[in-house]
Every structure is written in structure tokens, then in C-alpha cells.
């Protein structure tokens, strides 16, 4: 019930559409109950009195009533579809807005395919079922009341016999509502299947490279089979429920035919009244049957709605709206004071880290895999909130700064640069919507990307494909560097920005990064000794803690972990001297 009431908050945004639908439904229902009474008049008046004029009159009246009913029904359906699409748009818009405001920790625990299923499928399932349920259910209840009133007007005794099965129908509907858990299982199984499908499509190159087609097909079949079994469980329940309710409704017809026939034999009812009553009985049980079908749809819609509202009720990341702006201009002084952070495991990811970066300095972060280097710079952007300590930018703690203001001051170039499925131009404009073509070409030139972009079939307007698949790794990386240049951030974060490329491409990227780093406070997670050696200060991390710090020569003199890294990891990359 809570889910249905929450959907009402969206329906209330369009009172005119809702009112017009209701008006069409009321008038259409009233027109529908005209025909049985016309049949009574024909059988009891026109035929016995041999009145052809009345026969024509009543027939035309029935035709007009049917035409008016169907015309209003057509209008109601169009209004309903308009209403439906507006509500779908609103819910999806709110859902997407909410997704953008959720912390990264929330996404870490949820498959992308599951989120997509909720936005694309669950919203539609919830909205269509509930709007159709409310609209059609309202029409059905209105028809039951109107027809029931007429039945009691014709013959109260016979009407009471017609109502005998109603309590049984009501009890059956209550029992069927308990199948909602089955619909939840269907939605969950569908999400799991879609999540697997999304992963396999994203990783299709790896599947082919490692000849995993057969194994992944088997995995998909297992997930798909869960959907099949869950769906069959709900359908089997419906297969029992629907015929049972139909049989119970049929009992009402049998009772009316039997006792109605007795009344006709006794002369208490005319043939026209009997005929009209049976026609009204059809109109009475038809919406009852429709309500049973809506009950099935409602259980599915409630299950989908719970999944949608679970996202809308999730706690947003802090600092989106509240907080102060960074001082202008941003100098780029960054300080970590006893910062600790954990993803929730027993062991801390970051443990009591102290670090200082003066404006314009280059800070290198080195250490073995899993030491916490990337996590450390993610805390600066507030992608994650640290548990203890302080991080300050120009003397202001980042937790007191609006995230939009903080992130505008930071440029981020990662090892795997993400490009959106659009043009080179659109990917560059992400950094600066006001950038001119001249500014974009200038940033591409500084990023050593000018030549290859110029040679693309449509230059800046060339489509790069999903995740930039039409460009090489090095080309994507250089476009990413150009994007950061357009943003012109005072603080720059480089996370293994030259990894996974060949030597020549790395040289081009490194040259671009050196230009990008000029006059900026830069944090570099490096795997090349040449980059580390030129840093103003190097921090060596192990198990989330800083165990050494200093410049290149100072750290070499300590003969610690940094020296070991220089003699192993860095030398493996081709540096032959320390």
C-alpha cells in the first residue's frame, strides 16, 4: 500500500488528465448500461405491441449508446497513454537525478545491469500496472456499483442471489496477494540475468580472447533458467487462481438462471426483465473478472515499485548542496592530517596518513599494488568520505566545501580514460561547455593529440564509439589530457596515466602531462622512475600508511622500500640507472 500511495504523489501532478479520464470512464460506464434496458423494452414493449417504430427507435438508441461508449473509451485510452508517459518520464527523471547524487560506495555494491533493469524495466512495470490498475480498477468498481444498483432496481431478490459468490471472490483475491514474493523473485532473477548480460557484452573481447564462449553461454543459461522458473511459479499460481475465480463467478450465473427461471414461471418477472437482468449480470461479472487480472498486475507492479523506491530512498552523498565555496583563486595547497579510511573490511585501507603539497608542487605516490595510492587521491575528490583526520585545500577542510566547487578545482586523468559514446568535440566540452574550437584545438596540440584528431574523418565531430572504442588506448589518453587542459584545474590528479601504452605513445603522453602539470599542484601515481625522480616530494605507501617520504635522492639514501622499488619495478620499465 505504501508503494501505491507514493505513486499517487506523481499522479497528483496532472489533475486535469486524471479528471478527464475519470469523466470519460463515468459517462462511458453509464452508456454501457443502456443496452440491457433497451433489450428489455424491445422484448416487453415493442414486440408484444407490434410497434415497428419503437423497435427502430430503441435500436438506434442502442447504437448511439454503443458508439458513444466506444468513442469515450478511445479518448480515455489516449488520455491514459499521455498520463502514463508523463508519469514514466517524471519517475525516470527523478531516478536518474537520484543516481547522480548517490555515493560511489553505493555503486560499488551493485551490478550495472541491475541498476539498468530498475531504471528501464521496473519503472515501466510499476507505473503501467499502477496507473492502469487505478484507472481500469476505478472503471471496474464504478461499473459494478452502477450495474448492481440497476440489478437491485429490477429485482432485489435475484440481485442478492447474484451476489452470493462475491465474498468468495474477495477472499480469493486476498489469498492471491500473498504471491507478491514470487513477483519479487522474478524481478530479482531478471536483474541478475541483465547484470550478467551487461558484463559479458562489455567484456566480449576478453571472452573471445580466452575462448570462454561456451562457459559464459552456460552461465547465461543458468541465469536465464532462474527467470524461467520464477516466472513459471507466478504463472502456475495464476493458472489456479484465474479459473477458480471464473468458476466461482459462474456460480452466480447458475443461481440467477435457476431462480430467475422460477420467477418467470411464477409470472413475477417478464421475459424482457429476465433477459435484461442476465445482460446486466454479464456487465457485473465482467469488471469483477477484470479486477482479478488487475490483482495479478498489481502484485508485479508492487514488486517493481519496491525496487524503484529502494533507489529513491537511498542516502545521498553528503556535501552536494551544503558547504562553502573554495576561495577564489584556488592556490592548490593540499594537506592530509592523520587521515584514515576503510571500505568496510577488517583492515584499514588508509591509516593515519600525513601529507603536504605546496602550490605548484608535484607529489609522487609510490608503493606496491594495494598500498592505497588511488584511494588516497579519491579521498581528495570526496569520491569517498574519510573516517578520521582532515584533508585541507588552501586551509579549508574538504568536508566543509561543496563538492561541485571542490571538483571544479580538480582535474583527474586515470589509467583507463573514459570517453562517452559521442564525438571528440562532445567529450572535450564536458570539461568546459563554453570552449571554442580554437581552444579545443589548442588543448589537443598541447596534449599531443592535434595530429591524429586532425586526420580523423570528421575531425572534432568524429564519433569515438562506446567508451572510445574507435580510438587506441594512447589516443583516448591524450584526448583525456586535452579535456583536463580545457578545464584548467589548479589541482591535478594523475593515476598511472601512462600505463598500458607502448613506449612511443608513452613519450607523447608524458610530454603532454608535463605541460599539463606546469604551475599546478599535481599528485602523480607513477610507474616510471623518470616521473618519480622529477617530483618535488615522494611519498611511499605500504598497507595504507606512509612509511617513507622525501625527494628521490633522500629516499635512495635511506635504502628502504623506495630503493627496492627503484631496483625492481621501475627498472623493469627500462630505467637503467638510479
DSSP collapsed to 3 states, 471-512: CCHHHHHHHHHHHHHHHCCCEEEEECCCCCCCHHHHHHHHHH
- How is residue 315 annotated by DSSP? P
Looking at domain 15-309, its CATH class is mainly alpha
Kindly report, residue by residue over 263-316, the tens digit of the pLDDT: 877 778 887 888 888 888 888 877 777 776 677 677 777 778 888 888 888 888
With a CB cutoff of 8 Å and minimum separation 6, the contacts of 575 are 528, 529, 530
154: its cell numbers: 429490477
Residue 213 has a pLDDT of 83
Question: Which one has a higher pLDDT value, 343 or 202?
Answer: 343
Cβ atoms of 378 and 493 within 8 Å: the answer is: no
Q: Does residue 374 sit in helix, strand or coil? A: helix
Q: What's the mean per-residue pLDDT of the chain?
A: 82
Q: How far apart are CA 565 and CA 532, in angstroms?
A: 11
Cβ atoms of 443 and 424 within 8 Å: the answer is: no
142-162 average pLDDT score: 85
With a CB cutoff of 8 Å and minimum separation 6, the contacts of 423 are 458, 460, 461, 462, 463, 464
168: its cell numbers: 468468495
- What Rg value do the Cα atoms of the chain yield, rounded? 35
Lowest mean pLDDT among 231-240, 287-296, 358-367: 287-296
In the chain, where the domains are located: 15-309, 331-409+492-578, 421-488
Band (pLDDT 50/70/90 cuts) for residue 1 is low
238-263 average pLDDT score: 80
Candidates 201, 198, 189, 196; CA nearest to 219 is 196
Cβ atoms of 516 and 479 within 8 Å: the answer is: no
Question: Cβ–Cβ contacts within 10 Å for residue 504, how many?
Answer: 9
Kindly report, residue by residue over 109-141, the tens digit of the pLDDT: 788 888 888 888 888 777 666 666 666 777 788
Kindly report, residue by residue over 491-524, the tens digit of the pLDDT: 988 887 665 555 666 677 777 777 777 888 989 8
Which residue is it, cell 502484485? 299
**CATH number of this structure's domain 331-409+492-578, picked from the four choices 3.40.50.300, 3.40.710.10, 3.40.50.12780, 3.90.1150.10:** 3.40.50.300
With a CB cutoff of 8 Å and minimum separation 6, the contacts of 511 are 448
Residue 571 has a pLDDT of 45
Residues belonging to the chain: 578
Most confident stretch, 31-35, 50-54, 349-353: 349-353
Candidates 535, 553, 568, 554; CA nearest to 364 is 535
Q: Measure Cα distances from 394 to 327, 335, 336, 401 in Å.
A: 8, 8, 12, 11
Q: How far apart are CA 409 and CA 394, in angstroms?
A: 11
Largest Cα–Cα separation, the chain:
122
59: its cell numbers: 435500436
Question: Which one has a higher pLDDT value, 3 or 340?
Answer: 340
- How is residue 461 annotated by DSSP? G
With a CB cutoff of 8 Å and minimum separation 6, the contacts of 81 are none
191-220 average pLDDT score: 80
Strand partners, 411: 492
Kindly report, residue by residue over 464-483, the tens digit of the pLDDT: 887 788 888 888 888 888 88
The pTM is what? 0.72
Assess whether pLDDT exceeds 90 at residue 525. Answer: no
8-21 average pLDDT score: 82
Q: How far apart are CA 479 and CA 509, in angstroms?
A: 10
Q: How far apart are CA 163 and CA 371, in angstroms?
A: 74
Q: Does residue 306 sit in helix, strand or coil? A: helix
Q: Does residue 338 sit in helix, strand or coil? A: strand
Q: How far apart are CA 78 and CA 21, in angstroms?
A: 9
Give, in degrees to the nearest 5, the angle at Cα 99 between 94 and 100.
100
Q: Measure Cα distances from 311 to 54, 118, 372 in Å.
A: 63, 9, 30
Candidates 452, 326, 563; CA nearest to 441 is 452
37-44 average pLDDT score: 80
Kindly report, residue by residue over 53-78, the tens digit of the pLDDT: 888 888 888 888 888 888 988 898 88
Amino acid at each position: 500500500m505504501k508503494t501505491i500511495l507514493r505513486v499517487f504523489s506523481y499522479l497528483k501532478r496532472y489533475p486535469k488528465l486524471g479528471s478527464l479520464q475519470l469523466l470519460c470512464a463515468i459517462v462511458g460506464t453509464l452508456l454501457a448500461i443502456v443496452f440491457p434496458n433497451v433489450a428489455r423494452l424491445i422484448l416487453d414493449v415493442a414486440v408484444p405491441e407490434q410497434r415497428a417504430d419503437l423497435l427502430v427507435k430503441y435500436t438506434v438508441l442502442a447504437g448511439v449508446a454503443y458508439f458513444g461508449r466506444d468513442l469515450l473509451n478511445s479518448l480515455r485510452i489516449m488520455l491514459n497513454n499521455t498520463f502514463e508517459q508523463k508519469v514514466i518520464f517524471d519517475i525516470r527523471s527523478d531516478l536518474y537525478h537520484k543516481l547522480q547524487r548517490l555515493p560511489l560506495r553505493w555503486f560499488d555494491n551493485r551490478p550495472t545491469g541491475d541498476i539498468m533493469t530498475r531504471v528501464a524495466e521496473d519503472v515501466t512495470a510499476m507505473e503501467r500496472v499502477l496507473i492502469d490498475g487505478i484507472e481500469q480498477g476505478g472503471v471496474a468498481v464504478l461499473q459494478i456499483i452502477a450495474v448492481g444498483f440497476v440489478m437491485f432496481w429490477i429485482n432485489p431478490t435475484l440481485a442478492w442471489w447474484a451476489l452470493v459468490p462475491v465474498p468468495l471472490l474477495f477472499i480469493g483475491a486476498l489469498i492471491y496477494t500473498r504471491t507478491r514474493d514470487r513477483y519479487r523473485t522474478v524481478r530479482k532473477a531478471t536483474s541478475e540475468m541483465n547484470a550478467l548480460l551487461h558484463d559479458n557484452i562489455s567484456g566480449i573481447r576478453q571472452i573471445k580472447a580466452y575462448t570462454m564462449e561456451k562457459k559464459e553461454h552456460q552461465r547465461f543459461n543458468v541465469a536465464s533458467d532462474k527467470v524461467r522458473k520464477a516466472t513459471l511459479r507466478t504463472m502456475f499460481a495464476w493458472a489456479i487462481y484465474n479459473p477458480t475465480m471464473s468458476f466461482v463467478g459462474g456460480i452466480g450465473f447458475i443461481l440467477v438462471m435457476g431462480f430467475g427461471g422460477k420467477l418467470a414461471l411464477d409470472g413475477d418477472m417478464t421475459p424482457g426483465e429476465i433477459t435484461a437482468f442476465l445482460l446486466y449480470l454479464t456487465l457485473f461479472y465482467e469488471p469483477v473478472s477484470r479486477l482479478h487480472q488487475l490483482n495479478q498486475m498489481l502484485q508485479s507492479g508492487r514488486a517493481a515499485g519496491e525496487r524503484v523506491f529502494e533507489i529513491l530512498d537511498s542516502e545521498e552523498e553528503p556535501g552536494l548542496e551544503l558547504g562553502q565555496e573554495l576561495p577564489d583563486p584556488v592556490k592548490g595547497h593540499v594537506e592530509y592530517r592523520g587521515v584514515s579510511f576503510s571500505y568496510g573490511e577488517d583492515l584499514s585501507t588508509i591509516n593515519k596518513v600525513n601529507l603536504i603539497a605546496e602550490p605548484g608542487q608535484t607529489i609522487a605516490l609510490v608503493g606496491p599494488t594495494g598500498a592505497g595510492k588511488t584511494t588516497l587521491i579519491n579521498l581528495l575528490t570526496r569520491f569517498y568520505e574519510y573516517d578520521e583526520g582532515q584533508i585541507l585545500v588552501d586551509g579549508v577542510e574538504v568536508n566543509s566545501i561543496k563538492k561541485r566547487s571542490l571538483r571544479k578545482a580538480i582535474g583527474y586523468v586515470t589509467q583507463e580514460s573514459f570517453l562517452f559514446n559521442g564525438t571528440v568535440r562532445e567529450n572535450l566540452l564536458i570539461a568546459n561547455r563554453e570552449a571554442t574550437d580554437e581552444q579545443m584545438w589548442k588543448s589537443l596540440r598541447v596534449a599531443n593529440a592535434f595530429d591524429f584528431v586532425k586526420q580523423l574523418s570528421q575531425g572534432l565531430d568524429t564519433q569515438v564509439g562506446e567508451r572510445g572504442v574507435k580510438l587506441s588506448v594512447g589516443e583516448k589518453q591524450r584526448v583525456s589530457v586535452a579535456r583536463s587542459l580545457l578545464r584548467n584545474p589548479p589541482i591535478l590528479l594523475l593515476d598511472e596515466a601512462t600505463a598500458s601504452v607502448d613506449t612511443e605513445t608513452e613519450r607523447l603522453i608524458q610530454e603532454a602531462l608535463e605541460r599539463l602539470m606546469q604551475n599546478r599542484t599535481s599528485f602523480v601515481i607513477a610507474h616510471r622512475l623518470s616521473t618519480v625522480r622529477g617530483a618535488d616530494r615522494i611519498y611511499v605507501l605500504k598497507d595504507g600508511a606512509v612509511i617513507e617520504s622525501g625527494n628521490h635522492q633522500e629516499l635512495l639514501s635511506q635504502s628502504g622500500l623506495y630503493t627496492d622499488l627503484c631496483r625492481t619495478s621501475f627498472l623493469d620499465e627500462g630505467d637503467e640507472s638510479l
